[in-house]
């Protein structure tokens, strides 16, 4: 394996390419603004769905109420969360896809994961845990190992350790899901918090 400095330089060059990406520009109502936070030393990788409108405007992943809840689950504050030497962040789609007419954001564009993820992952050699947040990330990475529903995939989270930990999306829109499935906050969240703190030596 190349020395860490060489890997980091390669990753920085790749991120420059990602920021210039226009592959699906014609489908993005606000235009392209790829949002990723990556460093070759990161030990934890978060793969979400796609940036929302607020993240598109700020250029900062999880800079919204969903991010507040995710950080609460992880038991860390913003300073730890956004230290990309520890935590790398990307999504199934790197740009804001726009809103459905019936409300809620559209699905992530399908171009990003096959185009960019296979190039990124070899440049994150220290990842010990990948959080798969939402159904799109779970389907992309677990593939046939994913259950028929997000709920069942998350319910069987122990099956995917130590590499992956599937999570529901922490959006406020999912409040009813959390009420129906109290086992998530009773069992999964404490494990997540303990594992995050151990990996980051908090």
- Domain holding 82: CATH number? 3.40.470.10
Residues of the domain holding 134: 4-200
Domain count, the chain: 1
Task: Say what the pLDDT of residue 103 is.
Answer: 75
pLDDT along the chain (202 residues), means of 10: 86 98 95 97 97 94 96 98 97 94 87 97 98 97 97 98 98 94 98 98 91
- Output b/e per residue, 101-130; b: 16+ Cβ within 10 A: eeeebbebbeebbeebbeebeebbebbebb
| pTM tops 0.85, yes or no | yes
Q: pLDDT digit string (tens) for 127-174?
A: 999 999 999 999 999 999 999 999 999 999 999 999 999 999 999 999
Task: Say what the pLDDT of residue 54 is.
Answer: 92
Task: Say what the pLDDT of residue 1 is.
Answer: 57
Angle at 181 between CA 132 and CA 72, to 5 degrees: 55
DSSP secondary structure letters along 110-140: TTHHHHHHHHHGGG-TT--EEEEESHHHHHH
Q: Put residue 134 in one of left, alpha, beta given phi > 0 → left and psi -120 to 50 → alpha.
A: left
Task: Say what the pLDDT of residue 140 is.
Answer: 96
Rounded distance between C-alpha atoms, residue 145 and residue 143, angstroms: 5
């Amino acid at each position: 394996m190349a020395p860490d400095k060489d890997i980091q330089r390669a990753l920085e060059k790749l991120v420059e390419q990602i920021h210039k990406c226009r592959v699906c520009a014609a489908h993005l109502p606000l235009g392209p603004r790829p949002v990723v936070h990556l460093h070759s030393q990161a030990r934890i990788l978060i793969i979400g769905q796609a940036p929302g409108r607020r993240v598109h405007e700020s250029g900062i992943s999880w800079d919204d109420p969903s991010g507040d809840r995710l950080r609460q689950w992880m038991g860390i504050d913003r300073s730890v969360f956004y230290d990309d030497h520890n935590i790398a962040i990307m999504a199934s789609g790197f740009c804001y896809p726009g809103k459905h007419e019936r409300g809620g954001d559209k699905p992530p564009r399908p171009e990003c994961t096959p185009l960019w993820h296979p190039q990124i992952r070899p440049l994150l050699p220290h990842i010990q845990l990948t959080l798969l947040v939402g159904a799109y990330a779970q389907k992309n990475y677990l593939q046939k190992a994913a259950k028929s529903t997000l709920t069942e995939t998350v319910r069987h989270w122990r099956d995917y350790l130590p590499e992956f930990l599937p999570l529901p999306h922490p959006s406020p829109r999912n409040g009813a899901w959390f009420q129906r499935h109290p086992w998530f906050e009773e069992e999964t969240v404490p494990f997540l918090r303990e594992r995050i703190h151990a990996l980051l030596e908090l």
